[in-house]
Amino acid sequence: MAHPDDAELWAGGTLARLSRAGCTVTISVPEHPETVRNAEGAFAADLLGATFRSYAEPTVDTLRELLDAIRPEVVITHSLDDVHPDHRQVAHTLNAALPDVVISTGCPQRVYSSDTYNGLTSTGTVAAHTIVDVTASWDAKMRALAAHASQPIAEHFGPMAETLGRVWGGRIGVTYGENFVPLPVLGRLPASSTL
């Protein structure tokens, strides 16, 4: 993800759910120039049961090294046509780093893009695809999001997360959901319909 609060906002319920299921979860973002943002990110990751890892800057080389070191089975990133330029940069840089890493390590096996601001990209609405029921982990998501006290969580991001969570949850008949769209890895899409 591009910023210390992005994982919590777009995928926090899913990350908490995966952590509770025994999966190893790592949140990786470029190191933020404001040290308080990095500290908030580490605290929030801990609330989700995840490890926080920052790196120097999002270049193809740094993301290749990160992916090679972690060897994740699944990666969640931003949409390639996200409205935020930092989000797009990270997604495109990750996409450029994937071929070499996947060929050499076999990981990641699946890559998904997350939701974005009010479900809108620069080309339209985010497609409903892989909606995860995060009702049981919603409180953990919101606590982790609130840990980013330097950001406008209560007045902006929290209400948006609530709305998106209810919209996606309603699509599958649950209270809260998070939506992800698979991205091709070396021309292949995930065979699984779940993360």
Averaged pLDDT of the chain? 95
Domain boundaries, given as residue ranges, for the chain: 6-183
Stretch 138-144: mean pLDDT: 98
pLDDT at 76 over 80: yes
Angle between helices 6-20 and 158-171 (to 10 degrees): 50
pLDDT digits (tens, 9 = 90+) for 25-74: 999 999 998 999 999 999 999 999 999 999 999 999 999 999 999 999 99
Stretch 141-168: mean pLDDT: 96
Quick one: which H or E segment has residue 10?
helix 6-20
Whole-Å CA distances, 185 to 50, 111, 133: 24, 7, 25
CATH of domain 6-183: 3.40.50.10320
**pLDDT attached to residue 174:** 98
**pLDDT attached to residue 89:** 97
**pLDDT attached to residue 4:** 95
Query: What pTM was computed for the model?
Result: 0.95
Q: Residues 79, 84, 90, 93: is their CA dihedral positive or negative?
A: positive
Stretch 104-122: mean pLDDT: 94
Instruction: With H, G, I as helix, E, B as strand and everything else as coil, classify residue 128.
Output: coil
Is the Cβ–Cβ distance between 186 and 167 less than 8 Å? no
